[in-house]
Chain A
Amino acid sequence: MTGTGMLASASDETLIRKALRGSERAWLKLVRKYERRLYNYCLRMTSKREDALDLMQEIFLCVYRNLPNYHGDGVFPAWLFRIAGNKVVDFYRKRARDPVNQASEWQDDWQSQHATRSDEQAVGDNRLITRLLECLPPEQRLVVELKFFQQFTFEEIAGQMEISANTAKSRLYAALGKLREHEDLSHAM
């Protein structure tokens, strides 16, 4: 079980059941509950706010379409992030075909809107994290995201990515090695 507790899971199940019976309110509640977490996930995966929003919309649409297939046999966030992972892979494939959109576009306008010192520090951390994650290939980036930001276990990550837990660990350590090299290089420059 991850950061989401039993009560939250039960609540998800209730919302999904009601949404499947046609309750728009329950569906919107479910969307609102996860949209912030999912948007920031997409932001770290894409490094672009516009792409993150598009990706999040795609993920929610896919979740909606597949909601009848969710049997409540697992924790909803794990199911949600499995779909999100698939969509992220699709996103990288699309972006690979369109090199013009590969460049990062970390916007600084957010910083000007949030002028307090703590916000500036947070923006700096966000920018640093995004910049470092960009140096990773998609599958390693996804493992880092799921491990450190979503707090999934290796078994859960392995289930979501349809790989073994050992492969997930190997990818994480490979990613960490690459991140360290990148940071050392950045400091040297």
Chain B
Amino acid sequence: MRCETVRDLLPDYIDQRYADRPGSAEQHAAVSAHLEDCPECTAQFVQLNRWQQLAGNWKDEPVPDWHRPGLQVRQPARTHWLSFASMATAAAALLLVLFQVHFRVDDQGLHVAFGSDQASAQLQRQMDEFQLEQTAYLDARLLDLEQQNRGLLVAFFQSQQQQRQQDMGQLVNYWQSQRIYDQTLDQAKFGLLADKQQQSQRQLRQLLNTRYPETSTEEQL
């Protein structure tokens, strides 16, 4: 017998599971004979046996207190009479709707009518009136909104115009003040230039007087 076959059979060999199968005695004997000659398979057999024994030595630990999921078990189904009553009520209501049963109480007593055309016509009239009212209301609301929008638009344009005017005024003021400042600055510069020219003429005259004292001033110049 080959090692692979023996190793396939070893767990059952230990458990003696195949004891009832036909030919099991021969198989058992063949495995035993193989084990006597094959140290590898014997080692496997010993290890299997050891774990079989170890498993038998395991002592079950007690389960600690724990919350068993008992409360989550589905509730019992409802009793038939209740579901029957519910179904009967629903069916009756459905029939009342389907056959358009109409109850009316007046001075002459209780009236029961099936399939009332008057009621549907009245309902239609009321629906038409309601539709007209709603349409008028919506139109009025739309008009209001349009007027409000128009007013808002006019106010917006006016404010824009005022803003532009203010901006233009500020620009003109700035330009004028800058112009005055520039003119003042130019006058000051011209004055300074004229003073320097006069001073130069005086210095020139003094120099001529020094060089040519006989000539008159007009001649010198």
Contacts and interface: CB of A to CB of B under 8 A. Distances in A.
A182 to B, nearest CB: 12
Contacts of A21: 76-77
Interface residues of B, number: 32
A3 to B, nearest CB: 11
Given A36-B62, A110-B61, A176-B48, A129 B73 contact: no
B78 to A, nearest CB: 10
Contacts of A19: 73
Nearest to B75: A22
B60 A28 contact: no
Interface in B26-82: 43-44, 47-48, 51-52, 54-55, 57-64, 66-77
Contacts of B47: 176-177, 179-180
Contacts of A53: 63-64, 66
Contacts of A173: 7, 44
A23 B75 CA distance: 8
Main secondary structure of the interface of B (DSSP, over half): loop
A110 B62 CA distance: 10
Nearest to A175: B51
Contact of A43 (B17, B48, B61): B61
B218 interface: no
A147 B14 CA distance: 12
Nearest to A110: B61
A129 B64 contact: no
B73 A148 contact: no
Interface in A152-176: 153-154, 169, 172-173, 176
A126 B58 contact: yes
Interface string A43-57: 110000100010011
B77 to A, nearest CB: 7
A81 to B, nearest CB: 15
Contacts of B51: 144, 148, 176, 179
8 contacts: A19-B73, A22-B74, A32-B68, A39-B61, A56-B66, A57-B66, A176-B44, A176-B48
